[in-house]
Structures are given as C-alpha cells and as structure tokens.
Amino acid sequence: MEKVTFDSEPILAFFFGEMGGEQVRDIFEKIESNEVEGYINVVNLTEVTYILSRLSLEVAEEKVRILRGYGLKVVPTEDNGLWRQAAKFKCDHSMSLGDAFAAATAENLKTKLVVGSDKEFNKLGIELLRIR
C-alpha cells in the first residue's frame, strides 16, 4: 500500500483553495477509502492549526476534525530517532523546523513526502510528491 506524509503547505493549499488543493483532496479521498496510508507529524499539525487559528479557533478545530475524518494519522515526536533526524535535517539543510519534522517523519515511516513548492526538500533523498 502506498504511504504518504504531509508537510503543512499542501494541507493549507487544500483548505485555502489554492493551486494543488485538488490533488491533495484526491489523496485524502484515497486515504479515506484505505487505498493510501496518510500521516502528518504533530509539529506540522501544530503549524496548520496555528495558521488556521488566525481566521478563528473554531475554524482551526473544524479543519483538524476534517483531517482526522479522512483518516490522517498524527505521528508524535516521542521517538528519539524521529526528533534526532529532524534536528539533523534542520542543521544540515537550513530548513524550517516544521519542514525538518515532515522530512524526518517521511524518512522514518518510509513514505513519500507530499510537499508544495519548497526547494529545501530536493537534496534529502526522500521521494517527493509535489502538488505545485
């Protein structure tokens, strides 16, 4: 079964109706129908939530319920290998902390990483699924 991990940007593109959002919706539908396993790190879910909270806390909470309704699994940061790899990516590749956690989660779970236009993912050796 195909497995994917989401960076924050594609999820925000979906919720804001931006370019690539339809592709994200298609992936969510495959997750919902158990054709694909989908993951998001708790750090990236935090990013999505605080950005959506700028609109309103109620909107943010509703969107998180929608994500969970699709069957997206939230990955905690308790695994020493995961947060250590995120720190290494952050140090070695000058990327945001959220991007480092998304990449570390994809590497740890051996999934494709669903990303937007961020170029810092290109040199990580992780299979990418770009939405833009």
Domains of the chain: residue spans and CATH = 2-130 (3.40.50.1010)
Question: In a 10 Å sphere around its CB, with 0-12 CB exposed, 13-18 middle and 19+ buried, how is residue 32 labelled?
Answer: middle
* C-alpha–C-alpha distance, residues 111 and 115, integer Å: 12
Is the confidence at residue 129, as pLDDT, over 80?
A: yes
**Average confidence (pLDDT) over 105-111:** 96
For 35-64, the pLDDT digits (tens) are 999 999 999 999 999 999 999 999 999 999
User: What is the pTM (predicted TM-score) of this model?
Assistant: 0.94
For residue 84, give both structure tokens: 């250590």
